[in-house]
Amino acid sequence: MRNYSFQYKIINLLVLGLCFIIFFKNYNVQEILDDTALDLFIILASVAWVHILKAARLYFAIYGSKISLHRHLKTYSKVTPASILLPFKLGEFFRMYCYGTETGSAPKGILTILLDRFMDTLALLTMLTAVCLVSGSAFDPFVFALIVFLAGLLGAYFLFPGLSAYWKKFLLRIRATPKRLQALSFLEKLKVIYREITAISKGRGIILYFLSLFAWGVEIGAVLLISFLKGEADPSDKISIYLRAALSGAAPIELRQFIFFSLLLMIITYIAESIHEYNHNLR
């Protein structure tokens, strides 16, 4: 049985308690459930499939670490509410902290979650770009800036080996000074980070991306199906608003419904995995 520090337990308790307060302050359950039974069932089914895909994506990212599938599911169901509810993406720091503790490596936890978020955002932008091209709507400046930023990150990753080799040769040729030694040390730290990212994503990057794409496809498919059942002629605007809301955090009713059922699923999963862990420890 894994032993966790008192600090780890307290941080978990405080973060989840804050999530509990935020949910009851900002979400009207009656409004969320004020829909047809069929619509709510479609949302619930899409929530289940989306989180299966997202949990699988994260498990692929941490594959090879000292964490079992059951432990991963318990951790995933614990950190996801924080990722959804905490403002300014602060929940991602909680995810990094928890997965760093679970895998026994803080850098691995940080880089794994960053890679997970990168792939999820890349897939979201892919879907949003496709919707804009099909519907003919204009690109939001924030979305365009995010596309440029992600393209810059990808470019930096692929160019790093060549640039690193060039600057190392350059630094070794100039006169030895404290600043040169600091620059070489910084370069070595960047190479360690690069190797860790490569180790996490090698052979898995394309899988992580397509799992993210499928997850967003399921989510958007549910919005389309509900729009069709309600007789809406052109749901492209609703889909565009929904996808933009996923980036900005301003949630329309469809996204609040998805969040509500996501939190419900996470609670059930966490309880089920806790019971499994308890029974396993009794053996």
Q: Specify whether the CB–CB gap between 213 and 53 falls below 8 A.
A: no
What is the domain count for the chain? 1
Query: Quick one: pLDDT at residue 171?
Result: 83
- Residues 6 or more apart whose Cβ sits within 8 Å of residue 255: 242, 245, 246
Query: Quick one: pLDDT at residue 247?
Result: 67
Domain containing 54: what range? 6-282
Q: Is 210 domain-assigned?
A: yes
CA-based nearest residue to 170, from 185, 186, 183, 189:
183
Q: Is 181 domain-assigned?
A: yes
Query: Quick one: pLDDT at residue 233?
Result: 61
Q: How far apart are CA 92 and CA 95, in angstroms?
A: 5
Q: What is the pTM of this model?
A: 0.86
Q: Which pair of structure tokens corresponds to residue 68?
A: 């079992």
Q: Is 188 domain-assigned?
A: yes
Q: Is 223 domain-assigned?
A: yes
Query: Quick one: pLDDT at residue 250?
Result: 57
- Residue reference for tokens 């958007």: 220
Q: Is 83 domain-assigned?
A: yes
- Residues 6 or more apart whose Cβ sits within 8 Å of residue 60: 204, 207, 208, 211
Q: Is 1 domain-assigned?
A: no
Q: Exposed, middle or buried by CB within 10 Å (0-12, 13-18, 19+), for 152?
A: exposed
Q: Is 178 domain-assigned?
A: yes
- DSSP 8-state secondary structure symbol assigned to residue 137: P
Q: Is 267 domain-assigned?
A: yes
Query: Quick one: pLDDT at residue 226?
Result: 87
The alpha carbon of residue 180 and the mean position of all alpha carbons in its chain are separated, in whole angstroms, by: 38
Q: Walk along the chain (283 residues) in steps of 10 and give the mean pLDDT of each run.
A: 81 94 87 88 94 94 84 95 88 94 88 90 87 73 80 90 89 82 88 85 85 93 86 71 69 83 94 90 78
Q: Specify whether the CB–CB gap between 161 and 168 falls below 8 A.
A: no
End-to-end CA distance of the chain: 11
Query: Quick one: pLDDT at residue 36?
Result: 87
Q: How far apart are CA 189 and CA 184, in angstroms?
A: 9
